[in-house]
Structure 1
């Protein structure tokens, strides 16, 4: 049974590092949660390190560029590691070829800029589906209206040609304010259901955790705590890595946890987690 806690401070002394999800835990896509920001600042003031570990498909500098608008101060974190960072390694290593069809909005164009460690790699060229060697999906073209079903015809053609799909964000959905939108993971999952092959680099898959450890230069034995609201991404990733976790119930699963988003009902929580076949070390309504 997961233990419900009221504050990160209750357990902070037991950990050296936080791998903290961003969307749904620190912000809602529109603005930061002040209590969450304060909790991360207190953890760092106590000597801990904070890595914001996000399935955003954009490289870390592009994600960080939006922090001023969201209200996330530099004092709240030490490092940012994104699914986009890990997926870029796969892209420039040639995981889906060098001529790719991009599914995603213009805001993700920076994903195709080679990071410094890949400056000597052959360029990646975006082409139409008919000319592509592979697919890169960073999200829907229009996140306000598109669903995976909208891509059925193109994905059927891609499957027939045996194209692999590189998924830069394994999340299925996120909440933008009070609106739920599809992510790249939903399209990648749909492609697999159609018989295609999708490649993943973000949570819960190992590459993003390996990159986070390298970015923070963590020593062996560092006590890491994972925080997130995604049961199939954050919590599954923690289980796969053998790490303790806090499941933030007031995010994607809030509707299942009772009427008070800040205080999940223990019985509802236990029942829902059992139905997911997953458990977390701790749970909390919202990060504070």
Structure 2
């Protein structure tokens, strides 16, 4: 695989007009913004760059936008906030969808989030055996063991109940530790024999959604910035975008050798690499 070139955010700004920026691991962690990220995002916006926050969040873009602003990011420092939850809603609520309003649903999430089920007019249930659809939008692996998730989902998998994963992230950040994310729970469901439909990075629908709402015509002028090789870098490559891997987030502690192994195993190389999403003087 081609070794990514070191680059600064200022140099990226000189090369590209559109930035598709990951949220968790690039702009913030589970406690708040990374040092310099607020200023860096505002400076890109002031320079006239189009900025789309592209997030594997099962919650909608409006919720995420408001949360980002509450953390101190300027509301005018990004143009759009695209989430995998929004893309899932768009697809599942389309005229061609076979999903029926009023169907029963079990949502695996964090913080009791049932936003997608509510928007789709589904009836939320507490047990997998009662569900006609499983939605996996988040993980609480800091308090729920994976074996518990396995037993929770086994009745649905045995009945071949379809599952939708609106957050493919295999890992998540929690209090400085890397834990199993919603994507790991969805993989577990597949291992039990269930079928999963995936929405979010690295799958193409979220990128095509961003292209459409942002009016992107020339993909050569777009760069994707992320902290995950499996999601951000692979997704960018599949969709024909250049990419920049930041050394914050889930791979912050990985050595260069470990990164090289990941690039090879995922079969996706980043165009560039940089220490963090911030300006040189911050």
Same fold (TM over 0.5): yes
* Residue pairs, 1:227-246, within 5 angstroms: 227-246=225-244
TM-superposed deviation, 1:202:
0.6
How far off is 1:243 after superposition? 0.7
**Where in structure 2 are the equivalents of 1:1-288 lying within 5 Å?**
1-5=3-7, 7-93=8-94, 94=97, 98-114=103-119, 123-127=121-125, 128-140=127-139, 142-221=140-219, 223-257=221-255, 269-270=259-260, 272-288=262-278
Counterpart CA distance in 2 for 1:173 and 1:15 is 29
Shift of 1:172: 1.2
Q: Cα offset for 1:200?
A: 0.7
Cα distance, 1:187 vs. partner? 0.6
Taking structure 1 as reference, are residues 188 and 12 closer, same or farther at Cα in structure 2, changes over 3 Å only? same
**In 1: Cα distance, 2:9 partner to 2:109 partner:** 36
Shift of 1:174: 1.5
Secondary structure in 2 aligned to 1:187? helix
Partner Cα separation in structure 1 for residue 133 and residue 85 of structure 2: 17
Deviates more, 1:188-197 or 1:144-153: 144-153
Deviates more, 1:11-20 or 1:50-59: 11-20
SS at match of 2:238: helix
Tell me how far 1:133 sits from its aligned partner.
Answer: 1.3
Please report the TM-score for the alignment, with normalisation by the length of structure 1. 0.86
Q: Which runs of 5+ in 2 are unaligned?
A: none
CA distance in 2, matches of 1:112, 1:193: 24
Partner of residue 119, structure 1: none
Two-structure CA RMSD over aligned residues (Å): 2.1
TM-score (norm 2): 0.87
Number of paired residues? 271
Identify the residue that residue 261 of structure 1 maps to in structure 2. none
SS at match of 1:180: strand
Q: State the alpha-carbon separation in 2 of the partners of residues 123 and 36 from structure 1.
A: 37
User: Per-residue deviation at 1:241?
Assistant: 0.4
Deviation at 1:276, TM superposition (A): 4.3
The answer to whether the 8 A contact 1:58-1:85 is kept is yes
